[in-house]
Amino acid sequence: MVRGIEVHYYAVCPRKLWLFHKGIGFEQEHDRVLEGALLHEEAYQRLDKELSIDELAVVDAVDDEFVREVKLTSKMEKADQLQMLYYLYLLKQRGIEKKGLLSYPTEKKTEQIILDASAEKRLLTALGEINDIIAGKVPSYRKLPYCSKCAYRDFCEAGEEA
Ligand code: SF4
């Protein structure tokens, strides 16, 4: 099964998805992750605890209506949306129907995400592509705007082929 973070990585960079899936885990040490952890702590002090979905995903918080995720910036909004759709899909498969709320507190922005039929179709297409990427060879390095912030940058720029 695909993990929630892998759906996010897929939308950012297929190579990142592949490297992460193979356990080449530089991402844990990255400063942005630590920054994010602090932000989560501040934003969710008064909400329920995180919800883990069969070890595939850890959702920031859940209430009666919404699955909530807080993000540092909306620069990877499309990836955030796809990851949230996946959370909603996993819950739906377990008989729980929720909407999603993506919050970007530093930008004072909140976005509602709904798993309707077209969103579910888009998600299932993405999941198919994710499985193809994971099953294949490492995708080639292709410089992206995101690379400068990626924990795999040194690895990719050194021409490593995993
Ligand atoms: S450095 Fe760039 S190409 Fe390499 S994994 Fe990260 S985003 Fe992808």
Higher pLDDT, 112 or 48: 112
Total-model pTM: 0.84
Residue 147 CB neighbour total at 10 angstroms: 16
Residue nearest ligand 1's atom 4 by CA: 156
The CA 19 to ligand 1 mean position distance, Å, reads 9
List the domain boundaries for the chain. 9-157
- Residues 66-98 have pLDDT tens digits of 999 999 899 999 999 999 999 999 999 999 999
Residue nearest ligand 1's atom 7 by CA: 147
The CA 8 to ligand 1 mean position distance, Å, reads 13
- Residues 19-60 have pLDDT tens digits of 999 988 665 545 455 455 555 555 555 445 567 777 777 787
